[in-house]
Structures are given as structure tokens and as C-alpha cells.
């Protein structure tokens, strides 16, 4: 019988991590209650080379309309998180385009979701859906 190999791997606990995609999905899931689900949000994830990309999408399903509010990416270490694109230049002001921690990212996200631009997008979509 061959001797059992020594196991060099550590104990793993992924449950403690609040990943950027989890934070985004939490916020996406909350939009519907403000719009009676007429306008909803979703997060689409894809990978390219060694990076994860997350698209934050606003959708009016009754209009078959999808709008990418912003896109972020990160490598396997999660942070720094890179802002790949936003709805317009204004959202990039005050950021270097990188978030070095969860706090930085959450503060930025709060600002973006509360911004006049985002509110205008949502109101416009709601008005069109209800028309």
C-alpha cells in the first residue's frame, strides 16, 4: 500500500467572503420592490483571461429593453476592483477607476444607485412601461 500523501492545503471557508458580485446581486434584487418589478436589475458575469467581469443591468422586461448601468472587473483576489465602464463620465468623477476595498466599492455603489442619472433612467423606463 502506498503511503498517504501529506495534505498541504488549508481549511477553506468561502462563506465569510462578501464578493463584489454578491454585493451587486443584493442590490439588483432590491430594485424590483421599488418598481413593482416593472423594472428590475440583474448581474451578468463572464470571464475573460484571468479576470471576472460583472455587468449591472437594468431591465424592463415588458419592453424587452436592457441597459448596462456599469461594468466592473477583478482578478481572483477580488480587490482592487476596476470600474470598466459607467453610464456616463459623471460616475467616474471622484474615482480613480479602482476600488481597493469593499468599503470603497460599497460607498461608490451607494452613490451611483442614488444618483440623479440612475433615477432618471429608472423613471424614464417606468414611464415607458406604464404608458
Does 42 help bind other proteins (rule: CB under 8 A)?
A: yes
67 binding other proteins? (CB under 8 A) = no
With respect to other proteins, which residue has the nearer C-beta, 23 or 40? Answer: 40
- In angstroms, the CA 104 to CA 37 distance is 29
Cβ atoms of residues 52 and 73 within 8 Å: yes
Residues in the chain: 131
Q: Binding to other proteins by residue 40, rule CB under 8 A?
A: yes
Residue from 22, 32, 101, 111 in contact with other proteins (CB under 8 A): 32
Per-residue CA distances from 131 to 10, 41, 63, 66 (Å) = 57, 20, 11, 18
Tell me which residues touch other proteins (CB under 8 A). Answer: 32-33, 35-38, 40, 42, 61-62, 64, 129-130
Amino acid at each position: 500500500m502506498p503511503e498517504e500523501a501529506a495534505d498541504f492545503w488549508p481549511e477553506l471557508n468561502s462563506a465569510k467572503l462578501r464578493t463584489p458580485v454578491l454585493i451587486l446581486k443584493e442590490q439588483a434584487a432590491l430594485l424590483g420592490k421599488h418598481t413593482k418589478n416593472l423594472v428590475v436589475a440583474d448581474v451578468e458575469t463572464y470571464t475573460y483571461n484571468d479576470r471576472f467581469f460583472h455587468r449591472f443591468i437594468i431591465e424592463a422586461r415588458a419592453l424587452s429593453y436592457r441597459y448596462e448601468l456599469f461594468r466592473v472587473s477583478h482578478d481572483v483576489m477580488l480587490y482592487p476592483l476596476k470600474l470598466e465602464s459607467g453610464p456616463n463620465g459623471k460616475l467616474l468623477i471622484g474615482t480613480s477607476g479602482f476600488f481597493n476595498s469593499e468599503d470603497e466599492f460599497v460607498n461608490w455603489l451607494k452613490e451611483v444607485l442614488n444618483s440623479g442619472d440612475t433615477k432618471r433612467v429608472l423613471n424614464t423606463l417606468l414611464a415607458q412601461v406604464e404608458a
